[in-house]
Amino acid sequence: MKHAQLVIGTAGAGKSTYCSTIMQHCEASRRTVHAMNLDPAAEYLAYTPSIDIRDLITLEEVMDDLRYGPNGGLVYCLEYLLDNFEWMENELDDYQDDYLIIDCPGQIELYTHFPVMKDFVGHLQRLGYQVVVVYLMDAQFTDDAAKFISGSLAALSAMIQLELPHINVLSKIDIYLQRHTTPDGTQPRRLGRRLDRFLNFDINRLLTDKNRRGDMDRPIARSNVQQGNFASLNSAVARLLEEYNMVSFLPLDITDEDSIELVLSHADHAIQYGEDLEPREPKVRLCPAPRPRGQVSSRIGPPSRRPRPSLTLPSGRPTRSDRPSPAPTDPGTRRRRLECANLAVGTPQYKRKPTTDPEPRMRRAHMFACLLALLFFFLHALIPLLGAGPGPGKGPAPGHCGVLRGKKRPDT
Ligand SMILES: Nc1nc2c(ncn2[C@@H]2O[C@H](COP(=O)(O)OP(=O)(O)OP(=O)(O)O)[C@@H](O)[C@H]2O)c(=O)[nH]1
């Protein structure tokens, strides 16, 4: 199974930064990920792409040669890519089984109006790729409820147009937190709750909350949502999105490893990444030599499963480097744990023999049943002879002396 993330979003939302952040994060956890740049106008990228549309065509060439404007030129470049998709197939051949992160251009109409991106995804799917869309929206959109609603509608529009598993991400949370932090380093008490309303699209609260001065440095601007000619339309659209639970967001703070992991794990889950991976064989020798105390290889053990982080606000959480390292374990305990781990993965030399072999037990039960049957048979055969005495019609044959029980043989 092949997997890919299609990273889209408004211009400057942080798509390239997201790609580079995810790549670094995966590299650190020894996961192979390759980036593909689909922006023919990109001048600077924060990562090194393995596949780059600029190797095929650039916006500059199109604008110079065909005298197109930047937006028309961009659409032309992507259509040119689709017309020459064999080039892309050749490029993809080098990364057959790898996870791809595809950095897309920032023109939102490519996902909401034109069919080019949908066709591009169709080609990928024909090659066997499972694709998830990661839609990025800048956290500064939360400053204004109207802006936020229109950004959410754009996300919804892309979701409907592309018809793919879809994740919405509120990017640049680090900047958002910084902006709301006072010079003495404290954050307003309501900051988390305020952000939560956007993440869960609790627009009802956004529209009805009183913006008391002093609650926030920057109160949510609601004026253009609740006033003017479009107040009812705005409210209706917002309530529709909220009631049908169509849009929600994950926070992304690129300075917080847990936040990055949260977004990545949602994306992985959406395309079932990792479910077809074979658990790696532990590297253990068949007849392990006794290890000196305290030298236990930490690589041995069952394949570790990353705990799925809960969907909580990243603010104020310690980063991975801040967390205290676990207390050292004594070598004896570690050895016992290692043995347990090896038992759990069924390493041959540690396979425990069943304490009782089932075969002899079965045989014994079988013999016992036979004996019982024989005894039963003999009892049935002997009882009439021994106990019953001559009954009517069952007496000894004439001339037979018989056995007279309890009676003396009459003297003759
Ligand atoms: N502090 C911070 N800066 C960010 C973050 N994401 C992006 N930026 C900055 O925002 C600017 C734009 O980011 P890009 O990653 O180039 O955005 P983009 O969406 O790829 O831009 P286009 O491709 O032009 O649409 C750059 O200066 C980044 O350094 C973030 O999470 N935190």
Instruction: Decide: 19 and 145 in contact? Cβ < 8 Å.
Output: no
> What band does 206 get if pLDDT is binned at 50, 70 and 90?
low
Of 159, 132, 163, the closest CA to residue 245 belongs to: 159
Query: What is the whole-number distance in angstroms between the Cα of residue 138 and the centre of ligand 1?
Result: 9
Residue 344 scores a pLDDT above 50: no
Q: Quick one: which atom of ligand 1 is closest to the CA of 17? A: 15
Identify the residues whose C-beta falls under 6 Å from ligand 1: 9, 11-17, 39, 106, 171-172, 174-175, 254
CA–CA gap between residue 383 and residue 219 (Å, rounded): 103
- Residue 172 in any domain: the answer is yes
Taking the C-alpha atoms of 242, 243, 247 and 250 in order, what is their torsion angle to the nearest 10 degrees?
A: 70
DSSP 159-207: HHHH-S-EEEEEE-HHHHHHHTS-TTS---TTHHHHHHHHHTT-HHHHH
Q: Check residue 241 and give its pLDDT.
A: 79
DSSP 3-state assignment of 303? coil
**How many helical (H) and strand (E) elements, i.e. helices and strands, does the chain have?**
15, 7
Does an H or E element contain 3, and which? strand 2-9
CATH of the domain at 160: 3.40.50.300
Residue 30 lies in domain: 2-270
Helices (H), 102-181: 109-112, 116-126, 145-162, 173-179
Tokens of 157: 């529009």
**How many of the other CB atoms lie within 10 Å of CB of 218?**
14
As a whole number, mean pLDDT of residues 292-321 equals 35
Residue 16 scores a pLDDT above 60: yes
- Residue 386 in any domain: the answer is no
- Residue 201 in any domain: the answer is yes
CA–CA gap between residue 185 and residue 178 (Å, rounded): 9
Query: What is the whole-number distance in angstroms between the Cα of residue 336 and the centre of ligand 1?
Result: 49
- Residue 284 in any domain: the answer is no
221 or 111, greater pLDDT: 111
Tokens of 412: 């003759």
* Ligand 1 pocket, mutate which of 16, 19, 74 (most atoms under 8 A from CB): 16
Residue nearest to atom 6 of ligand 1 (CA): 14
Q: Which amino acid is at 146?
A: A
Query: What is the whole-number distance in angstroms between the Cα of residue 339 and the centre of ligand 1?
Result: 48
Name the burial class of residue 407, with classes exposed (0-12), middle (13-18) and buried (19+) by CB atoms within 10 angstroms of its CB. Answer: exposed
Tokens of 108: 């939102």
Phi, psi for 57 (deg, rounded to 5):
-155, 145
With both helix axes pointing from N to C terminus, report the angle between 70-83 and 59-66 in degrees, rounded to the nearest 10. 110
Cβ contacts of residue 204 below 8 Å, gap of 6+?
238, 239, 242
- Residue 372 in any domain: the answer is no
Query: What is the whole-number distance in angstroms between the Cα of residue 361 and the centre of ligand 1?
Result: 71
As a whole number, mean pLDDT of residues 294-305 equals 34
Total structural domains in the chain? 1
- Residue 317 in any domain: the answer is no
> What Cα–Cα distance (Å) separates residue 154 from each residue in 10, 95, 122, 137?
9, 32, 21, 10
**How many of the other CB atoms lie within 10 Å of CB of 94?**
10
Instruction: Decide: 317 and 256 in contact? Cβ < 8 Å.
Output: yes
As a whole number, mean pLDDT of residues 74-101 equals 91
Residue nearest to atom 29 of ligand 1 (CA): 17
211 or 229, greater pLDDT: 229
> What band does 363 get if pLDDT is binned at 50, 70 and 90?
confident
Looking at every residue in the chain, the average pLDDT score rounds to 72
Query: What is the whole-number distance in angstroms between the Cα of residue 200 and the centre of ligand 1?
Result: 23
DSSP 198-231: HHTT-HHHHHHS---TTS-SS--B-HHHHSSTTH
Tokens of 323: 């967390």
- Residue 402 in any domain: the answer is no
Residue nearest to atom 21 of ligand 1 (CA): 12
310 or 164, greater pLDDT: 164
DSSP 3-state assignment of 322? coil
> What Cα–Cα distance (Å) separates residue 339 from each residue in 243, 293, 295?
53, 14, 14
Instruction: Decide: 298 and 326 in contact? Cβ < 8 Å.
Output: no
CA–CA gap between residue 89 and residue 96 (Å, rounded): 10
CA–CA gap between residue 85 and residue 123 (Å, rounded): 8
Residue 325 scores a pLDDT above 50: no
As a whole number, mean pLDDT of residues 118-133 equals 94
Cβ contacts of residue 311 below 8 Å, gap of 6+?
250, 262
